[in-house]
C-alpha cells in the first residue's frame, strides 16, 4: 500500500485525489493532510481517511479544527509553516501530492523532497519559481517528480518509451477559456462570476481566472521546460476548445503522439499515484464518435498577451519567472475582489516585470525576496489605479 500526504487537500486537486484514493483503499492510504482555512471540509476528510497528521493555516483554524474533531480524534493538528513542513516531510509518507495553490506550495514541496518523498506535482508555481533548485534537489535525493497537470501528464505519457533526444517540440493544448470568442472590447466589463465559469473544467478560482487570461498556459510552458528539459523555444501552444487532446509531442521524424481523455483531473492524478502502473476506472470512457470534431487554433497574441509575457520571463530566467508568478497572483486576487478589471490583469503583470532587474541563478532566499518585491510592487500599482 502506498502511503500519501496531500498538501492542499481541500482544493479541487486535493478533493479529486481523495476521490481516487477512496476508490482504491487496497492501494492507497492517507497519512497526512494539509489545508488552509476550510476546516469544515478538512474535518470530513479526516473522519473518512483517518490521517495521523493534519495541518492548517494558523493557530485560530487549528483550534477550530480540534474543537470540530473532538478530544477522541487520533489526528494530530498542527498549523502554519511548521505544520506544513511536518505534513510534507511526514516520516510514514511514500509520496506527497503537492497541490497547494500558488507560491505557497514551493517551500513545502522542497521540504518533501529534502525528506526523500516522491512528488506528485500539481503546483506548477514550484517549478515556475525555482525549477533549477527543485529538480537539482530531487536528483540529489533520488526523488521522482511526476506531473499531475493534465497537460504535463499527457507529455509525460507521450514520452514514455521514447528517446528524449529525438523530441523536436512539445505542444501544450489550451481550452481558450470562457472568453475565446468574446469581442476584445467587451473584456473590460467581465465580472468575476463570468470568468469563473470554465467551459470544460471544474477548478479552483485562481487557476480558472488564469485559464481565461491564458496565463495558466504561460506558466505551464515554463513548467514544461523544466520538467522535460527542453528550451521554451521548443514548446508551442495550441487552443483546443474541446479539451480532449491534453497535449502532444512531436518527434524528429515527423511523428506526433497525443494523449487524449475526457476532461477529468482524476485521470492524471490516478496515473501519478499509480505510476508506472494504471488503475482501473469505472467511469464512462472517452467516446470520440460522440465528440465528433476536434479543432485546433493558434492563440491570438493580441487577445492573449499573457503568453508572450511568460515566454519572455522564461527566456530571461533567473528571478523573472518568480516575479511573473507573484504579480499575477496579486492581480488575479485583486480582480476577484473587485479591485481591478479583468482586462487589467495582464497589463499590471507586465508593468511589474518592466520594473524588475532580474538576478541570474538565484538561490531560494533571492527567489523569495523577488516574490515579496513583486507582491509589494503589484499592490502599489493596484492602489494607484484605484485613486
Q: Is 74 left (phi over 0), alpha (psi -120 to 50) or beta?
A: alpha
Cβ count near 199 (within 10 Å): 15
For every residue of 268-282, DSSP letters joined together read: HHHHHHHTTS-----
> How confident is the model at residue 234, as a pLDDT?
98
Q: Are 100 and 8 in contact (CB under 8 A)?
A: yes
Q: Locate the domains of the chain by residue range.
A: 2-147, 163-262+287-386
Cβ–Cβ under 8 Å, residues 108 and 7: yes
Q: 3-state SS of the chain: helix, strand, coil percent to 5?
A: 50, 15, 35
More confident residue, 187 or 121: 121
Residue 200 pLDDT grade (very low, low, confident, very high; cuts 50, 70, 90): confident
**What are the DSSP calls for 316-380, one per residue?**
H-TTHHHHHHHHHHHHHHHHHTTSS-GGGHHHHHHHHHHH----SS--HHHHHHHHHHHHHHHHH
- CA 317 to chain centroid, in Å, comes to 19
Query: Residue 146: helix, strand or coil by DSSP?
Result: strand
Q: Check whether 123 has a pLDDT greater than 90.
A: yes
Burial of residue 308 (CB within 10 Å: 0-12, 13-18, 19+) is middle
Does residue 180 register a pLDDT over 90?
no
User: Is 163-262+287-386 the same fold as 2-147?
Assistant: no
**CATH superfamily, with its number, for domain 2-147:** NAD(P)-binding Rossmann-like Domain (3.40.50.720)
**Which pLDDT score, from 0 to 100, does residue 384 have?**
87
How far apart are alpha carbons 224 and 122 in whole angstroms? 12
Is the separation of the CB atoms in 242 and 292 below 8 Å?
no
**Res. 8: pLDDT tops 80:** yes
Quote the mean pLDDT of the chain: 95
pLDDT at position 72, please? 92
| φ and ψ at residue 108, rounded to 5 degrees | -60, -35
Q: Quick one: pLDDT band at residue 203, thresholds 50, 70, 90?
A: confident
pLDDT at 292: 95
Helix 364-386 to helix 320-336 angle, to the nearest 10 degrees? 40
Rg (CA), the chain: 20
Sequence-distant (6+) residues with CB within 8 A of 88 are 5, 7, 34, 96, 108, 109, 111, 112, 115, 117
CA dist 358 and 365 (Å) reads: 14
* Mean pLDDT of the 5-22 span: 97
Task: State mean pLDDT over 237-243.
Answer: 96
pLDDT mean over 119-141:
97
CA 234, chain centre distance (Å): 21
Can you name the residues that pair with 112 across neighbouring β-strands? none
Asked if residue 94 has pLDDT above 80, the reply is: yes
Q: CA 188, CA 121: separation in Å to the nearest integer?
A: 34
Assess contact for 366 and 359: CB atoms under 8 A. yes
How many Å apart are CA 251 and CA 246, to the nearest integer?
A: 17
H helix or E strand, kind and range, residue 251: strand 245-251
C-alpha 211/C-alpha 184 separation (Å) is: 16
Mean pLDDT of 196-223: 88
Class of domain 163-262+287-386: mainly alpha
Count Cβ atoms below 10 Å from residue 374 Cβ, excluding itself: 27
User: Considering only CA atoms, which of 207, 190, 175 is closest in space to residue 105?
Assistant: 207
Quote the cell numbers at residue 279.
Answer: 488503475
The pLDDT of residue 160 is 95
Would you say 150 and 246 are in contact if contact means Cβ atoms under 8 Å apart? yes
In the predicted structure, residue 202 carries a pLDDT above the cut 80: no
User: Can you tell me the mean pLDDT for 297-315?
Assistant: 95
Three cell numbers at 25?
483503499
Amino acid at each position: 500500500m502506498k502511503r500519501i500526504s496531500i498538501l492542499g487537500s481541500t482544493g479541487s486537486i486535493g478533493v479529486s485525489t481523495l476521490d481516487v484514493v477512496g476508490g482504491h483503499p487496497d492501494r492507497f492510504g492517507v497519512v497526512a493532510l494539509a489545508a488552509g482555512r476550510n476546516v469544515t471540509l478538512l474535518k470530513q476528510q479526516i473522519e473518512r481517511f483517518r490521517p495521523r497528521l493534519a495541518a492548517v493555516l494558523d493557530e485560530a483554524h487549528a483550534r477550530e479544527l480540534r474543537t470540530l474533531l473532538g478530544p477522541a480524534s487520533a489526528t494530530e493538528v498542527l498549523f502554519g509553516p511548521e505544520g506544513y513542513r511536518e505534513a510534507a516531510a511526514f516520516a510514514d509518507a511514500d509520496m506527497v501530492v503537492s497541490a497547494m495553490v500558488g507560491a505557497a506550495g514551493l517551500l513545502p514541496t522542497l521540504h518533501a523532497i529534502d525528506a526523500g518523498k516522491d512528488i506528485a506535482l500539481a503546483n506548477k508555481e514550484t517549478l515556475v519559481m525555482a525549477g533549477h533548485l527543485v529538480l537539482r534537489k530531487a536528483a540529489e535525493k533520488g526523488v521522482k517528480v511526476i506531473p499531475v497537470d493534465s497537460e504535463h501528464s499527457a507529455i509525460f505519457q507521450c514520452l514514455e518509451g521514447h528517446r528524449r533526444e529525438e523530441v523536436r517540440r512539445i505542444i501544450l493544448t489550451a481550452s481558450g477559456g470562457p472568453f475565446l470568442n468574446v469581442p476584445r472590447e467587451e473584456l473590460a466589463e467581465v465580472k468575476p462570476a463570468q470568468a469563473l465559469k470554465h467551459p470544460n473544467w471544474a477548478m479552483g478560482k485562481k487557476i480558472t481566472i488564469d485559464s481565461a487570461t491564458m496565463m495558466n498556459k504561460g506558466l505551464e510552458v515554463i513548467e514544461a521546460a523544466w520538467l522535460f528539459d527542453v528550451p521554451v523555444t521548443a514548446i508551442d501552444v495550441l487552443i483546443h476548445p474541446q479539451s480532449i487532446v491534453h497535449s502532444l509531442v512531436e518527434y524528429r521524424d515527423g511523428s506526433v503522439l497525443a494523449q487524449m481523455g475526457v476532461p477529468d483531473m482524476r485521470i492524471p492524478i490516478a496515473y501519478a499515484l499509480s505510476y508506472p502502473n494504471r488503475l482501473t476506472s469505472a467511469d464512462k470512457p472517452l467516446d470520440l464518435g460522440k465528440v465528433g470534431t476536434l479543432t485546433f487554433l493558434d492563440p491570438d497574441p493580441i487577445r492573449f498577451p499573457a503568453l508572450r509575457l511568460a515566454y519572455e520571463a522564461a527566456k530571461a530566467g533567473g528571478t523573472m519567472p518568480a516575479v511573473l508568478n507573484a504579480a499575477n497572483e496579486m492581480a488575479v486576487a485583486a480582480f476577484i475582489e473587485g479591485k481591478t478589471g479583468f482586462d487589467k490583469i495582464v497589463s499590471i503583470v507586465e508593468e511589474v516585470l518592466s520594473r524588475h532587474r532580474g538576478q541570474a541563478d538565484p538561490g531560494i532566499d533571492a527567489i523569495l525576496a523577488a516574490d515579496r518585491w513583486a507582491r509589494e510592487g503589484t499592490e502599489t500599482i493596484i492602489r494607484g489605479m484605484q485613486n
